[in-house]
Amino acid sequence: MTIPTSLPRLKGFRFPREIIAYAVWAYHRFALSTGDVEDLLAERGVIVSREAVRLWVNRFGSQFAACIRRDRPRPHDKWHMDEVVVPINGVKHWLWRAIDGNGDVLDILIQPRRNAKAAKRFFGRDWLLPMANRVS
């Protein structure tokens, strides 16, 4: 966990900067509720109310969310498509997967038809179009 440099010194707060940063980071990173963050901090010996966590998230959340998005790994330049026939209740379905060069699954689509419209539905996804234009 990295504390954003744009985070102010936090004078006047009851808890140190690191505890506030950890609470906001855990809330955004793991999609926890404020009650879950309260319990997580209580396990570590820090007694804080869920209302305090909510106030911290509202005040500093956008800075932490931007930091987490920035640090998230980007899809690799090379990616592969995988198509598999999957029987579901005796009916053939096609499972389409987009996998980047690191082996991370970028997207999955399962549908009962295998035709041009089905392929366009998968390749027409907003995140996939910029990468599809770069493929030679």
What are the pLDDT tens digits along the chain (136 aa)?
666 666 667 778 889 888 998 998 889 888 899 999 999 999 999 999 999 999 999 998 887 777 767 766 666 677 788 888 999 999 999 888 888 877 777 778 888 888 877 777 777 665 554 554 444 4
Q: What's the pLDDT score for residue 87? A: 92
Residue 121 lies in a domain: yes
Residue 32 lies in a domain: yes
Q: What's the pLDDT score for residue 58? A: 93
**Residues contacting 64, CB < 8 A, separation 6+:** 4, 21, 24, 25, 28
3-state secondary structure of 106: strand
Q: How far, in Å, CA of 13 to CA of 19, rounded?
A: 11
Phi, psi of 96 (to 5 degrees): -110, 135
Backbone dihedral region for residue 45 (phi beyond 0: left; psi -120 to 50: alpha; all else: beta): left
Give the end of a domain, one of 71, 88, 103. 71
Q: What's the pLDDT score for residue 134? A: 47
Asked whether residue 61 falls in the same domain as residue 83, the answer is no
Number of domains into which the chain is organized: 2
User: What predicted TM-score, i.e. pTM, was given to this entire model?
Assistant: 0.51
Asked whether residue 38 falls in the same domain as residue 64, the answer is yes
Please write down the long-range contacts of 53-60, taking CB distance under 8 Å and 24 or more positions apart.
53/23, 53/27, 56/20, 56/23, 56/24, 57/23, 57/24, 57/27, 57/28, 60/7, 60/20, 60/21, 60/24
Q: What's the pLDDT score for residue 54? A: 96
Q: How far, in Å, CA of 49 to CA of 27, rounded?
A: 14
Asked whether residue 67 falls in the same domain as residue 84, the answer is no
For residue 122, give its domain range: 79-134
Structure tokens at 128: 């996939």
Give the end of a domain, one of 71, 91, 112. 71
Q: What's the pLDDT score for residue 136? A: 40
Asked whether residue 94 falls in the same domain as residue 123, the answer is yes
Q: What's the pLDDT score for residue 89? A: 92
